[in-house]
Amino acid sequence: MTATAHTAAALALGDDALVLSHRLGEWAGHAPVLEEEVALANIALDLLGQARVLLSLVGDEDELAYLREERAFRNVQLVEQPNGDFAHTIARQLYFSTYQRLLYGRLAAAGAGDLAGLAAKAVKEVAYHQDHAEQWTLRLGDGTPESHDRMRQACTALWRFTGELFQPVAGLDVDWQELESDWLASVTAVLERATLTVPDGPRTGAWSAGAGRQGLHTESFGRMLAEMQHLHRSHPGASW
């Protein structure tokens, strides 16, 4: 693996974790039940921890998080999607944590290197995240008519952002087609148990497939970065 490809891979995975962690952090003080205040913050912290390790492989974590503009971020568009209602947050979490668990499992099994080390540690965390998302998908899908309807809408709304997860990332030696079919099998099984159906919309549009990895994001992302970076950028060179 070349140093550049290695860096590109760490940046892509680091940005995914950083951005999703930020979105989950927005829930603090707004969760539907106290146990979820704890759980969502816990997942956000795990992801932030992963982001810090990954970004540090690339350079200075704070420079990378706070001083890049929107077009330089390499996260998938899925993780930057606004929280919406609890069902949207859970659907985003189900799609992403299933992907992360399958991917990290493969990277950890592949053995050597910084990414394998990170993946071996992180796969335990993301197994917990996936379980949390699955349990809530079941409760919402198979709960009340209202929760079923909201969960169905959320799964459908986010479906079109899932194709991008399987665009090959330079520097990651992974069978992306196999990863995708494992992901589809896992998500399908959970949705069926939750009395939901797999959305039938497209997962690979000309714009959404691979766009985030190329620095092409959705509109809400710029606003998210403005909030995240404002204070840091207001005090150039300061340490905190």
The least CB distance from residue 131 to other proteins, in Å, is 15
Q: Which residues of 52-77 are buried (b: 16+ CB within 10 A; e: fewer)?
A: bbbbebbeebeebbeebebeebbbbb
* Positions 192 through 231 that interact with other proteins (CB under 8 A): 227-228, 230-231
Cβ 40 to other proteins shortest distance, Å: 9
Site track 112-151 with other proteins (rule: CB under 8 A), x = hit: --------------------------xxx-xxx-xx--x-
CA atoms within a 13 Å half-sphere pointing along the CA-CB vector of 158: 26
- Select the span of 50-58, 73-81, 153-161, 200-208 touching other proteins (CB under 8 A): 50-58
Rg (CA), the chain: 17
Closest CB to other proteins among residues 111, 237: 237
CB of 178 to other proteins, least distance (A): 33
Give the nearest distance from C-beta 87 to other proteins in angstroms.
8
Instruction: Give yes or no for residue 1 binding other proteins (CB under 8 A).
Output: no
Task: Establish if 174 lies at the interface with other proteins (CB under 8 A).
Answer: no
Residue 150 host element (H or E): helix 145-159
Count how many Cα atoms sit within 13 Å of the Cα of residue 150 in the half-sphere of its side chain. Answer: 17
Is residue 58 a contact point for other proteins (CB under 8 A)?
A: no
144-168 burial, b at 16+ Cβ within 10 Å, e below that, comes to eeebbebbbbbbbbbbbbbbbbbbe
Give the type of residue at 139.
R
68 binding other proteins? (CB under 8 A): no
User: Half-sphere exposure (CA, 13 Å, Cβ side) for 138?
Assistant: 8
**With contacts defined by CB under 8 A, how many residues of the chain interact with other proteins?**
49
Site residues for other proteins per CB under 8 A: 18, 22, 25-26, 28-38, 41-42, 44-45, 48-49, 51-52, 55, 61-62, 65-66, 85-86, 138-140, 142-144, 146-147, 150, 227-228, 230-232, 235, 237-240
